[in-house]
Amino acid sequence: MGSHDGKVLYRRHGATGECANAQLCRRGLQQFNVRGLLKAHAVLLWHALAHNFMRMRSLGLAFVAG
């Protein structure tokens, strides 16, 4: 993080990745309530899908059926 490019990258990461992690924690994803890697992965994907839909709604994007 000593270089200028590293600082820019770190600042950009804080604005994108950490925001999503904070919102998932606020929605209750602090501990998985299922057993097994496959089930935990499915729970994480459901939370990611819900996060993406909430972001689309907050940005005013329409849902397009394709």
Res 37: pLDDT: 94
**Across 11-37, average pLDDT:** 77
Both tokens of residue 59?
Answer: 């940005």
What's at 58, amino acid-wise? Answer: S
Q: For residue 53, what pLDDT is reported?
A: 87
7 vs 17, more confident: 7
Q: Over the stretch 26-61, which tens digit does the pLDDT of each residue have?
A: 877 777 789 999 998 998 898 888 888 888 888 888
pTM for the whole thing?
Answer: 0.60
Contact yes or no for 40/32 (Cβ under 8 A):
yes
Residue range 6-14: mean pLDDT, rounded: 75
